[in-house]
């Protein structure tokens, strides 16, 4: 089938870092061991529940602060969380240029992201011109389903009006790219801009 739509993960693909934040830099500033933020914010917290709408934002934040507090105490944990929230989250400009070229070439473009509720509102607030670049944005927290649940990709193509076989999906998590492929999409593990351009060309996308 001819490719008609390209779907992107957000963190680690359209953002320079997995959640937009340079964890290593923040951990160095706050004298934290490597991967502390990953563990506290996403693994030991209630993040997995939150990304499918099963707990509130406040409950997730508190759980992350508690995980940090077990290591550095409550006061420092709150300071680190504040720095995490306020950290710069730079977009991957090469990928945004690619999105623009795809749109200009007549391809539909969308985002499928595992994230907490309110994704579109957050994007509108942080990156005012970003949301308008995409035909659709699906955030797991607003849908109460998350990758690798096949339903989220099925919903994405239905809303876009294309078939699975007419779609490309890329994600910096290899397992999610593989799951999309298993469904019938052209799924690619994202390792960088140049590699993904080659991936697109391999399935006939004109970029």
Chain segment 32-67, per-residue pLDDT in tens: 999 999 999 999 999 999 999 899 999 999 999 999
pLDDT at 1: 83
- Whether 27 has a pLDDT exceeding 90, the answer reads yes
For the beta sheet containing 136-139, the strands, ordered from the edge strand earlier in sequence to the opposite edge, are: 136-139, 108-113, 5-8, 167-171, 186-189
Chain segment 164-191, per-residue pLDDT in tens: 999 999 999 999 999 999 999 999 999 9
Selection from 67, 73, 146 nearest residue 59 by Cα: 67
Query: Do 3 and 107 form a contact (C-beta atoms < 8 A)?
Result: yes
Report residue 128's pLDDT band, with 50, 70 and 90 as the boundaries: confident
CA distances to 26, 34, 206 from 29, rounded to whole Å, are: 5, 12, 43
Report residue 129's pLDDT band, with 50, 70 and 90 as the boundaries: confident
Please provide residue 117's backbone torsions phi and psi, each rounded to the nearest 5 degrees: -55, 155
Q: What is the mean pLDDT of residues 114-132?
A: 92
Report residue 159's pLDDT band, with 50, 70 and 90 as the boundaries: very high
SS3 category, 147:
coil
Task: Identify the residue with better confidence: 18 or 161.
Answer: 161
CA dihedral (27, 31, 34, 35) positive or negative: negative
Selection from 202, 207, 191, 201 nearest residue 92 by Cα: 191
Q: What is the reported pTM?
A: 0.88
pLDDT at 14: 97
- Whether 82 has a pLDDT exceeding 90, the answer reads yes
Calculate helix-pair angle for 74-86, 57-72, nearest 10 degrees.
Answer: 130
Ordered by start, the domain boundaries in the chain are 5-17+91-202, 23-86
Q: Please, which residues bridge with residue 111 across strands?
A: 8, 137
Would you give the DSSP letter of residue 165? G
Please name the fold of domain 5-17+91-202: Rossmann fold (3.40.50)
Q: What angle do CA 114, 137, 129 make, to 5 degrees?
A: 115
Percent of the chain with pLDDT over 90: 96
Q: What is the mean pLDDT of residues 66-85?
A: 98
């Amino acid at each position: 089938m001819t490719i008609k739509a390209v779907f992107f993960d957000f963190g680690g693909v359209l953002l320079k870092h997995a959640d937009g934040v340079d964890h290593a830099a923040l951990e160095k500033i706050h004298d934290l061991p490597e991967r502390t933020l990953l563990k506290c914010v996403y693994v030991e917290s209630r993040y997995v529940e939150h990304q499918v709408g099963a707990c509130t934002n406040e409950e997730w934040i508190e759980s992350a602060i508690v995980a940090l507090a077990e290591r550095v105490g409550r006061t420092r944990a709150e300071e680190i969380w504040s720095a995490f929230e306020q950290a710069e989250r730079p977009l991957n400009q090469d990928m945004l240029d690619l999105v623009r070229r795809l749109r200009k070439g007549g391809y539909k473009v969308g985002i499928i992201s595992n994230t907490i509720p309110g994704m579109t509102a957050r994007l509108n607030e942080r990156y005012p011109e970003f949301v308008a670049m995409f035909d659709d944005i699906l955030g797991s927290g607003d849908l109460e389903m998350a990758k690798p649940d096949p339903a989220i990709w099925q919903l994405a193509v239905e809303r876009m009006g294309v078939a699975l076989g007419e779609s490309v999906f890329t994600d910096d998590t290899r397992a999610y790219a593989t799951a999309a492929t298993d469904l019938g999409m052209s799924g690619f593990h994202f390792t960088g801009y140049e590699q993904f351009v080659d991936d697109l060309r391999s399935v006939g996308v004109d970029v």
